[in-house]
Amino acid sequence: MKIKFTSRTGFWPVYGWFGLGLIIIFWILNWSLSGLRTHWGFFPLWLGFCLTVDALVFTRTGHSLLMRNPAAYVGLFFISAPAWWLFEVINWRTQNWYYVGEQSFSDVEYFLLSSLSFSTVMPAVFGTAELAGTFPWIRKKRYGMKIPLHPSTPAVLFAAGWIMLALTLLWPLYFFPFVWISVYFILEPLNVWLGNRSLLQDIARGDWRPVLALCAGCLLCGFFWEMWNYYSYPKWIYRIPFFNFPHIFEMPLAGYLGYLPFSLELFALYHLVTGLLKPRRGQDYLLPSAES
């Protein structure tokens, strides 16, 4: 996919100002008001983050997720919510985090409000990953170690993913970290077999830029997730066995490592869903190279 820079490179779009306004208003409200407020303030705060990051990408490159395909950008929100619910379902077994204030809502209210909040995960991560992809240390890393994609590789990863997930569910106290890699190992082979876009194909060419951009972008998102959560209510609290120290906000330091493979899982989830809904379309929507 050939991405051409527009004449508006360096221009700050109007929606970027709207995003900054949302961040300022709802950051203040989420941290200063007493009582319940995050249940209605989380979505506009993170919508502001998504729009601001997208505007930054557009300013630096002349294209962005929103500007390339507005319909696909909106679609990220709809795919994102069920994608994160997958990890919430696994957490019912692992119990690595819980929500303070959850008891204030009925089951239906909790599901609807949570789904609205969860809808911002993919737009935030993928937008920030594209921003990270504009950093010179990623953008200029055109070639790295090539890991050939042998015909047996997807089957090996697929089996390993199910084994890791089974270990996580059977003995969550010891194998809970597998949550953040098992889903990727299960989904990525499916993308290969179905002909969807796959990070394994990038790595086979020695192009590590998508992986690096995803990991860096998700880690940056993780910082803002944890920072804005710290003084919010309702909020999440972690219970991480063995590594529950030291903390940066509510998250133990070791827990931030989970954001790295989590970004790959989201990437695989997105392409599996879009590949099933629109085969052969949208394969190059995420993370197009600025130099390709």
What span, in angstroms and rounded, lies between the C-alpha atoms of 62 and 172? Answer: 45
**Residue located via tokens 């989201």:** 266
pLDDT score of 291 more than 70:
no
Distances (CA, A) of 288 to 60, 132, 134, 252, 291: 14, 12, 11, 33, 9
Per residue in 149-180, pLDDT (tens digit) is 999 999 999 999 999 999 999 999 999 999 99
Per residue in 214-254, pLDDT (tens digit) is 999 999 999 999 999 999 999 999 999 998 889 999 999 99
Quick one: pLDDT band at residue 4, thresholds 50, 70, 90? very low
Q: Would you state the pLDDT for residue 145?
A: 86
Quick one: pLDDT band at residue 290, thresholds 50, 70, 90? very low
Q: Would you state the pLDDT for residue 3?
A: 43
Q: Give percent of the chain above pLDDT 90.
A: 83
Q: Give percent of the chain above pLDDT 70.
A: 94
Q: Would you state the pLDDT for residue 245?
A: 86
Pick 85 or 142 by higher pLDDT.
Answer: 85
Per residue in 184-200, pLDDT (tens digit) is 999 999 999 999 999 99
Query: Which residues are paired to 99 by β-bridges?
Result: 236
For the segment 117-126, the average pLDDT, to the nearest whole number, is: 98
For the segment 95-119, the average pLDDT, to the nearest whole number, is: 95
Per residue in 67-81, pLDDT (tens digit) is 999 999 999 999 999
What span, in angstroms and rounded, lies between the C-alpha atoms of 235 and 112? Answer: 16
Q: DSSP letters along 82-144, please?
A: HHHHHHHHHHHHH--EEEETGGGS-HHHHHHHHHHHHTTHHHHHHHHHHHHTTSHHHHT----
Q: Would you state the pLDDT for residue 39?
A: 93
Buried-state track 210-238, b at ≥16 Cβ within 10 A, e below 16: bbbbbbbbbbbbbebbbbbbeebbbbbeb
